[in-house]
């Protein structure tokens, strides 16, 4: 924790593994308000964000962008203050020298639920768009696509050694969206 006005340069913060040797998320960030920077396997900055619970936000980003979430740096503050959080975020982006992909054109992929319609196989699309299907059948098809994509994400995370439970919101699946509960 720092005073409410100190901005620690990103270069001065330690890299924290996204998934530690025990398969856990950075528990020290649970329930913490702060700004975080996410790096890929080569420690290239991918996204900078802020949150009222850095730990929960990191979990969301991992399921949305598992291939880009290997390291994190964070600065926490005592009380929520959007101005301070935005200042830290902007300073880190400037310090980086360029806007990370996750804060530019790819921002929705980092900040919005996964839309499984965008990753349907041609077979799933044909089945979904079949004119003989009613709304109930389309909902069943989209839920099955969501389950398939969810399974693929969980398999990737298990290969990375993740032991923390990941639970997706079941109500969103019928709308073709995946987001953590």
Task: Report the SS3 class of residue 73.
Answer: strand
The CA–CA distances, whole Å, from 105 to 23, 46, 174 equal: 31, 12, 27
Largest pairwise CA distance in the chain = 62
Q: What is the pTM of this model?
A: 0.92
Separation CA 161–CA 77 (nearest Å):
30
pLDDT per residue as tens, the chain (181 positions): 444 568 999 999 999 999 999 999 999 999 999 999 999 999 999 999 999 999 999 999 999 999 999 999 999 999 989 999 999 999 999 999 999 999 999 999 999 999 999 999 999 999 999 999 899 999 999 999 999 999 999 999 999 999 999 999 999 999 999 999 8
Domains of the chain from N-terminus onward: 10-110 (3.40.1440.10), 114-178 (no CATH)
Separation CA 67–CA 156 (nearest Å):
9
Give every CB contact of residue 18 below 8 A, 6+ residues apart in sequence: 25, 26, 38, 58, 62, 69, 70, 71, 72
Separation CA 131–CA 139 (nearest Å):
14
């Amino acid at each position: 924790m720092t005073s409410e006005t100190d901005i620690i340069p990103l270069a001065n913060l330690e890299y924290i593994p996204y998934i530690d040797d025990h398969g856990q998320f950075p528990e020290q960030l649970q329930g913490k308000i702060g700004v975080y920077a996410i790096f890929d396997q080569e420690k290239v900055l991918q996204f900078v964000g802020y949150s009222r619970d850095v730990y929960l936000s990191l979990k969301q980003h991992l399921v949305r962008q598992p291939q880009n979430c290997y390291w994190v740096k964070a600065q926490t503050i005592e009380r929520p203050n959007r101005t301070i959080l935005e200042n830290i975020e902007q300073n880190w982006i400037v310090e980086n020298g360029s806007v990370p992909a996750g804060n530019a054109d790819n921002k929705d992929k980092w900040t919005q639920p996964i839309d499984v319609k965008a990753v349907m196989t041609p077979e799933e699309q044909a089945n979904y768009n079949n004119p003989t299907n009613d709304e109930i059948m389309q909902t069943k098809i989209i839920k099955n696509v969501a389950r398939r994509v969810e399974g693929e994400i969980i398999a990737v995370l298990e290969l990375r050694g993740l032991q923390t439970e990941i639970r997706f919101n079941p109500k969103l699946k019928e709308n073709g969206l995946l987001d953590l509960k």
